[in-house]
Copies of this chain bind each other. A is one copy, B any other.
Amino acid sequence: MPHQADIRQVLWQLAFQFKANSKRAIRDYDLPLNGMHVRLLQMIARQPACTAQRIAASTGRDKAQITRVIKELEAMDLVTRSPNPEDRRSQLLALSKTGQGLMTRIQEAEDEVRKTLLRGIPKKEVDAFIATGNRMLDNLREES
């Protein structure tokens, strides 16, 4: 497969390939989860006092979709919802015991993918890549 000169192609391919590899890794670990499950678990793990709204905002996804995935995660006993003392409309999300255990294994699976992705690329170059990527994100977000 040839190298892509076009920024569009690079972004599409990267996202697609990365997603495909992650999916494979997760499946190899026998985790009964899809991509969204994993992503939300990660966000919940990272953010203390996380609400659905916050996830929707920081991923740019539709809140309806978030609700649905969270519901599934709760049904799998991976996530707990407790009332938010500061706002009775919303709920605080947290990983359950089981969820935390799963997270460990997810991290392992994804770390492997990341290691593959970054193989042989100097840290400095990766940092530059991330920095540029963030600038692009800023540009896109300002727009909307």
Q: Is the Cβ of A116 less than 8 Å from the Cβ of B143?
A: yes
| A135/B120 contact (C-beta < 8 A), A5-B130, A130-B5 known | yes
Q: Which residue from chain B places its CB closest to the CB of A57 in the assembled complex?
A: B1
Known A12-B39, A15-B14: A129·B139 in contact at CB below 8 Å: no
Interface segment out of the listed A17-25, A76-84, A89-97:
A17-25
Q: What residues of chain B lie closer than 8 Å to A140, measured between beta carbons?
A: 17-18, 21, 116-117
Q: Is A27 close to B, CB under 8 A?
A: no
Q: Which 9 A-B pairs have the closest CB atoms?
A: A15-B15, A10-B133, A17-B140, A129-B132, A3-B134, A119-B139, A117-B136, A11-B18, A10-B130
